[in-house]
């Protein structure tokens, strides 16, 4: 950790509010998508991509960044990376919405708790980062959690692993792609615009799709899916520039915590003793990762 990480930026309070709001939005998203339970998960994902593409295109034009986006699209390496990240986020959204539709949000929240641990593993495997004893212990606990969850379910917890893998690799690809967050989302959704528009138009023509619906509320919620998707990302991008990475690291657990509480307290999902053991392993693993920096600094000060 650099010395700059120990010094709070002058506007960190505003950054915490912005980034915290983004994670709070992501945490309560299940309530929004649950209102669209009549829409099949894959169709709902395509709607989310379609209206998000249109909304971000308008916002990009308002920001005066159309030329920047076009230059990015004309750069083969960047557009290829964004096509890959677009596929990864589409997979992530599909699994997530499927977990809501099938009342498996507890497992989904576990996936997002595991994402930072998977990012550590990716850093070691893909970027050659060193694996400390703290992080090795954390990854071991994460593996134990997956095994315990598999025993409880009677099969591999593919929702948790699918969410963690897709979002972990998405973050890895975007980390290596020097493109503004909102510009990147605009391009990702734009690349899939022909597929999403064509599919929704075909279903509407055949009369097999949900849109347009006999209920205006359903149509309105589908259209609002674009702004609802883009808004927290914009809040996150604005907040991330104003806070330390350590602060941002702790804030990221707000979303799965809210989701877990919603699933168990309001959506009727059970939280068993086996679930407690699984989440306990992951929470201890995250605690170990969080303690690594302070312990290292303490040892360094004692040795000075």
Residue 197 pLDDT > 90: yes
**Mean pLDDT rounded to a whole number for the chain:** 83
Give tens-digit pLDDT for 120-173: 777 777 767 777 787 788 778 888 888 887 877 777 889 988 998 898 888 788
> pLDDT-based confidence at 6, cuts 50/70/90?
very low
Nearest CA-CA partner of 92 in 75, 115, 72, 61: 115
**Predicted pLDDT of residue 300:** 61
Using a pLDDT cut of 70, give the percent of the chain over it. Answer: 88
Q: Which residue has the higher pLDDT, 239 or 80?
A: 80
For the four alpha carbons of 114, 117, 122 and 125, in that order, the dihedral sign comes to: negative
Using a pLDDT cut of 90, give the percent of the chain over it. Answer: 28
143 CB burial (10 A radius; 0-12, 13-18, 19+): middle
Token output for 170: 């998405």
**Predicted pLDDT of residue 74:** 94
Q: How many CB atoms lie within 10 A of CB 145?
A: 25
256-283 mean pLDDT:
86
Q: How many domains does the chain have?
A: 1
281-296 mean pLDDT:
75
**Predicted pLDDT of residue 245:** 58
Compute CA distances 94 → 5, 68, 87, 98, 290, whole Å. 36, 29, 11, 6, 30
**Predicted pLDDT of residue 199:** 93
Summarize the chain as % helix, strand, coil (round to 5). 80, 0, 20
Q: How far apart are CA 303 and CA 154, in angstroms?
A: 49
Give tens-digit pLDDT for 41-88: 889 999 999 999 999 999 999 999 999 999 999 999 999 999 999 999
**Predicted pLDDT of residue 194:** 95
Q: How far apart are CA 224 and CA 55, in angstroms?
A: 9
Residue 11 pLDDT > 80: no
Q: How far apart are CA 61 and CA 66, in angstroms?
A: 6
**Predicted pLDDT of residue 2:** 45
**Predicted pLDDT of residue 299:** 61
**Predicted pLDDT of residue 297:** 67
Which structural domain, as residue segments, surrounds residue 235? 3-303
pTM (2 decimals)? 0.82
Q: How far apart are CA 245 and CA 249, in angstroms?
A: 6
Q: How far apart are CA 155 and CA 149, in angstroms?
A: 8
């Amino acid at each position: 950790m650099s010395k700059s990480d120990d010094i709070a930026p002058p506007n960190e309070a505003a950054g915490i509010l912005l980034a915290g709001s983004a994670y709070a939005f992501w945490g309560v998203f299940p309530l929004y998508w649950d209102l669209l339970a009549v829409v099949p998960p894959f169709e709902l994902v395509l709607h989310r991509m379609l209206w998000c593409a249109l909304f971000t295109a308008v916002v990009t034009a308002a920001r005066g960044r159309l030329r920047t986006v076009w230059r990015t699209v004309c750069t083969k390496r960047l557009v290829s990376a964004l096509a890959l990240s677009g596929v990864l986020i589409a997979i992530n959204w599909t699994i997530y919405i499927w977990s809501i539709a099938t009342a498996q949000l507890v497992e989904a929240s576990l996936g997002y708790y595991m994402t930072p641990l998977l990012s550590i593993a990716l850093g070691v495997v893909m970027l050659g980062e060193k694996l400390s004893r703290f992080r090795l212990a954390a990854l071991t606990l994460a593996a134990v959690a997956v095994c315990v969850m598999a025993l409880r379910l009677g099969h591999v917890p593919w929702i948790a692993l699918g969410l963690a893998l897709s979002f972990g690799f998405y973050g890895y690809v975007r980390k290596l792609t020097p493109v503004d967050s909102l510009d990147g989302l605009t391009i990702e959704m734009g690349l899939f615009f022909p597929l999403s528009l064509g599919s929704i138009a075909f279903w509407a023509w055949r009369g097999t799709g949900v849109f347009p619906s006999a209920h205006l509320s359903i149509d309105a919620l589908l259209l609002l899916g674009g702004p609802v998707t883009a808004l927290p990302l914009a809040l996150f991008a604005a907040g991330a520039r104003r806070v330390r990475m350590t602060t941002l690291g702790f804030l990221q657990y707000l979303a799965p915590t809210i989701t877990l509480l919603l699933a168990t307290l309001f959506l009727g999902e059970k939280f068993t003793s086996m679930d407690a053991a699984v989440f306990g392993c992951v929470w201890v693993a995250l605690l170990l990762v969080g303690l690594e920096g302070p312990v290292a600094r303490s040892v360094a000060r004692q040795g000075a």
